[in-house]
Amino acid sequence: MIPTAYPPRDAIARLTARMLLEIEAVHFNAAEPFTLSSGLPSPTYIDCRKLISFPRIRATLMDFLSVTVMRDAGLEAFDNVAGGETAGIPFAALVAERMALPMTYVRKKPKGYGRNARIEGVMGEGDRVLLVEDLTTDGGSKLSFVDAIRDTGATCAHTAVIFFYGIFPETEKTLGDHGVALHYLCTWRDVLAEARAQGTFDAATLDGVESFLDDPRAWQAARG
């Protein structure tokens, strides 16, 4: 069913943060930082993949993501919803269902046999494609998916994610310079605010996370 209720943005951000905390998708540890895919340390880690196992939360967040995109980009702005391999695939399917659109997915690289395709499903020339993923950090990983979509003759000017780090100022510029607008539900600041309100973590941990959010590059440099 196509969602028709449009909650305020701040309510969506707060509720999304609350749900991520409720299912323990959020991990904070300033004393023993996590290592990100970039190899850099971080006191924060989020696992949006857990959402697929919680039907009520999953459904609510997919409603939120669909209405956010429709409010920001338009109700008739897209012809196709594409998920990025692999985390974006289930969320793209759920958003496509809500927006009554065809769904496809984009491989990280050609599979190396058969058609050697990067796009699975039917994507037509001139289709206006919404790229859906679970999250974005600096926006860089989205560009390869966008280029693969454009190589088919389709267009891709929008990407939607559940979670946006929101701490690296170059992210939206990186995407914008590539002709892509970013839509998201919440950021680390929203999660930190909700964690403080709930007392989910001790004050020292939250203070350490806030120090990272204030200047992530300096925080990482100080820890090698």
CA distances for 52 relative to 49, 60, 136, angstroms: 6, 12, 18
More confident call, 174 vs 4: 174
User: Is 210 in contact with 196 (CB distance < 8 Å)?
Assistant: no
SS3 content of the chain, % helix, strand, coil (to 5): 45, 20, 35
Fold of domain 9-214: Rossmann fold (3.40.50)
Q: Which of 143, 163, 149, 9 is nearest to 72 (CA)?
A: 9
* Distance (Å, whole) CA 34 – CA 95: 30
Cβ–Cβ under 8 Å, residues 189 and 197: no
Burial class (CB in 10 A: 0-12, 13-18, 19+), 162: buried
Domain boundaries, the chain: 9-214
Residue 196 φ/ψ region, left for φ over 0, alpha for ψ in the -120 to 50 degree band, beta for the rest: alpha
Q: How confident is the model at residue 31 (pLDDT cuts 50, 70, 90)?
A: confident
pLDDT digits (tens, 9 = 90+) for 59-106: 999 999 999 999 999 999 999 999 999 999 999 999 999 999 999 999
Stated pTM of the model = 0.94
Residue 96: the pLDDT is 98
Mean pLDDT of 117-145: 93
The pLDDT assigned to 137 comes to: 87
